[in-house]
Amino acid sequence: MIRVKNVSLQYADGPEVLSNISFTLAAGSFHFLTGRCGAGKSSLLRMLYLGHRPSRGHMEMFGRDIFQLEAFELPEIRRRVGVVFQDFRLVSHLNVFENVALPLAIEGRPEQDYTRNVEELLDWVGLGDKLHQYPELLSGGEQQQVAIARAVVASPQLLLADEPTGSVDAEIGERLLGLLIELNRQGATLLIATHDTGLLERHRHHAGELQLEEGGRLRQLPPVRAKTSE
């Protein structure tokens, strides 16, 4: 589904943030993206949600060569990717319902077409009673839930989450991660960027790992099978 081969990424004339990296994300797979702060995790995610095109290499998403895409074709590919941004990026003048419905509204669909779906989704993430509240009145965990709901509302094929548990306590973090894993079970390919080693240890038996190293290089590791007790 996602094939990245010998890809490098640089901003303007700066040094390469990602250097000659290769990995594959199979459809429905679950991976963590790890690495120290500044290793390029956010840049790799940005490359995958087409916020910045790679400078060289080969990158294929959903069967399309990214380097061959015309500008007018990019929105269609972006709509297949759901993103939970590290800073949530909720729109302050839109309420919870409107924030979550944004990916559907941009398709030009009338509101009555998706009202029920959005309400059910918000019920599912536990915000069914806060449809008309504005983000600034929500707690950090609730804002994160809204961000997750917005990322999944249009049923994306690829779900990217940048430090989704970074700004919430452990209990809420586990609940949010549970939401993402549930979506992965329903078929979405999941890639979570994190530096939370505890989280990684708890889930690495069913999640692969993309490990960013010094110099912008990357190693892809498969899930670690749990040892059977003798």
Partner 1 sequence: MIIPHSRILPRAMLGSNLLPLVIAVNVYLASLAILGGLALVSATGQWSAELDQLVTVQVPPEAGVGREAVVKSVLGVLRDHPAVAQARPLDAAEMEALLRPWLGQSAVIRELPLPQLIDVAMRPEGDLDSLRKRLEAEFPGVEIDDHRLWRDQMQDISLAARLICWSLVSMISLAAVAVIIFATRATLESQNELVALLHLIGAKNSFVAGEFQKHFLGIGIIGVLIGLVPVGLTIASVLYLTGNDPAPWMGRLSLGLFDYLLALTPPLTAALITMLTARFTVLRALADLD
User: Which residues are near partner 1 by CB under 8 A?
Assistant: 49-51, 71-72, 74-81, 83, 89, 91, 93-94, 98, 102-103, 105-106, 108, 111, 150
Q: Which of 65, 94, 67, 61 is nearest to 79 (CA)?
A: 61
From 188, 181, 123, select the one nearest 154 (Cα to Cα).
Answer: 188
Complex with partner 1: residue 90 or 127, whichever CB lies closer: 90
Residue 212 and residue 34 in contact, taking contact as beta carbons nearer than 8 Å: yes
Query: What is d(CA 227, CA 230) in angstroms, rounded to the nearest whole number?
Result: 9
Q: Which of 86, 96, 180 is nearest to 136 (CA)?
A: 96
Only one residue has tokens 């990322």, namely 151
Sign of CA dihedral 169, 190, 125, 89: positive
Which of 15/72 has CB closer to partner 1? 72
In the chain, the DSSP E strands lie at 2-10, 16-25, 30-34, 56-61, 64-65, 81-84, 158-162, 189-193, 208-212, 218-221
Closest distance of CB 89 from partner 1, Å: 5
Looking at beta carbons only, is 54 or 208 nearer to partner 1?
54
In the complex with partner 1, the residue whose CB is nearer, 79 or 175, is: 79
CB of 77 to partner 1, least distance (A): 8
**Which of 77/181 has CB closer to partner 1?**
77
Structure tokens at 152: 């999944």
CB of residue 108 vs partner 1: minimum separation in angstroms? 7
Q: Is the Cβ of residue 49 or residue 204 nearer to partner 1 in the bound state?
A: 49
Q: How far is the CB of 119 from partner 1 (least distance, A)?
A: 17
- Nearest approach in angstroms of CB 204 to partner 1 is 29
Q: Distance between CA atoms of 131 and 141, rounded to whole angstroms?
A: 15
Q: How far is the CB of 163 from partner 1 (least distance, A)?
A: 17
